[in-house]
A = this chain, B = another copy of it.
Amino acid sequence: MRPVVGKLAIIGQGLIGSSITRAVYERKLARETVITDADPKVRKRLLELGLGEARVVKTAAEAASGADMVIGCVPVRSYRDVVAEIAPVLKPGAILSDVGSVKQGIVLECLPLVPEGVHFVPAHPLAGTEFSGPDAGLPRLFVNRWCILTPPEGVGGDAIATARTFWEGLGSKVEVMSPARHDTALAITSHVPHLAAFSIFHTALAQEEEDHSPVIQFSAGAFKDFTRIASSNPVMWRDIFLMNREPVLKALRNFITDMEACARAIEAGDGDTLEKLFSVSRSTRRKVIEKEHISQQPDESADALKDTLFRPYSQGD
Binding site for B on A (CB under 8 A): 126-129, 145-146, 148, 175, 181-182, 184-186, 188-190, 192-211, 213-232, 234-235, 237-239, 241-242, 245, 248-249, 251-256, 258-260, 262-263, 266-267, 269, 271, 274-275, 277-282, 284-286, 288-289, 292-294, 301-302, 305, 310-311, 313-314, 317
Give 5 closest A-B pairs by Cβ, nearest first.
Answer: A234-B278, A189-B219, A201-B281, A126-B220, A193-B226
Q: A208-B294, A229-B226, A249-B267 are in contact. Are A188 and B203 (CB under 8 A)?
A: yes
With most chain B CB atoms within 10 A of its CB, the pick from A234, A251, A271, A293 is: A234
A216 vs chain B, min Cβ distance (A): 6
A258 is contacted by which of B202, B241, B266 (Cβ under 8 Å)? B202
Is A201 a contact partner of B248 (Cβ separation < 8 A)?
A: no
Residues of B within 8 A of A185 (CB): 207, 211, 214-215, 218
User: Does A234 lie within 8 Å of B279, measured CB to CB?
Assistant: yes
- B251 & A203 in contact (Cβ 8 Å cutoff): yes
Complex contact A226–B225 (CB within 8 A): yes
Main secondary structure of the interface of A (DSSP, over half): helix
Query: By the criterion CB–CB under 8 Å, are A199 and B248 in contact?
Result: no
Q: How far is the CA of A97 from the CA of B314 in the complex (A)?
A: 49
